[in-house]
Amino acid sequence: MAKLLCIQASPRGERSFSTAVADAFVSTYRQTHGADEVLVRNLFDWRLPEFDGLALQAKYAILHQKEHSEAERAAWQAVTEVTDEFKSADKYLFAVPMWNFHLPYRLKHYIDILVQPTLTFSFDPQTGYQGLVTGKPAVVVYARGGEYAAGTPAEAMDFQSKYLESVLTFIGFTDIRRLVVEPTLSEPEAVARTKQQVMEEAARLAGEF
């Protein structure tokens, strides 16, 4: 039995395009992978631990091979609970809106908690950085108000997919598949058609994921 972790990063509920596409994926996945566990987390409904001064001290203590103080240990424990849940999955689905050419801040917060030495990456002075989340596929659903197609001038402003995929690659992912729903801020009938097409694509991908 495998576990699919679905991370949603839109607060827009039923109006969200990324969530609708991810829901289509999950719905087919449940039908085609009946024995698997599916965990859905919406980052706007989930109170993540702060990644503040204490958590940073705990992170730097590890980087500098120092023991944790009592307070740092508690802060690190809260971080570890989030990374443990993330690593407990076998497959990942991310539903990601574009905000200001990048990610919604709650997803950045999640990433700041996830990307940790010894938990999701390691460092060796001889060999450098190595990702520790390996052998697990991911699907990312990107929703954008505008269009950022490869080869167009707008592509340079797509820090959403470049950043997310760089971070996922840094922590070890090598199999990252994309579903793109754009431009969502366009003429409503055309948008509804695009949404429907990408939902169908998501359902197809889910069946073989």
Nearest one of 185, 183, 98 to 140, comparing CA atoms: 98
Position 195 contacts ligand FMN (CB under 6 A): no
Per DSSP, the residues of 26-69 read HHHHHHH-TTSEEEEEETTSS-PPP--HHHHHHHHHHHTT-PPP
Q: Minimum Å distance from CB 21 to ligand FMN?
A: 8
Alpha-carbon distance 87 to 43, whole Å?
A: 17
Position 194 contacts ligand FMN (CB under 6 A): no
Alpha-carbon distance 95 to 180, whole Å?
A: 10
The interface with ligand FMN within residues 64-103 (CB under 6 A) comprises 97-101
Number of residues this chain uses to bind ligand FMN (CB under 6 A): 17
Q: In this chain, which of 144, 199, 205, 209 binds ligand FMN, going by CB under 6 A? A: 144
3-state secondary structure of 174: coil
Position 139 contacts ligand FMN (CB under 6 A): no
Alpha-carbon distance 65 to 112, whole Å?
A: 20
Q: Minimum Å distance from CB 145 to ligand FMN?
A: 3
Q: In this chain, which of 16, 28, 83, 161 binds ligand FMN, going by CB under 6 A? A: 16
Position 25 contacts ligand FMN (CB under 6 A): no
Give the residues lining the site for ligand FMN (CB under 6 A). Answer: 10, 12, 16-19, 97-101, 143-146, 184-185
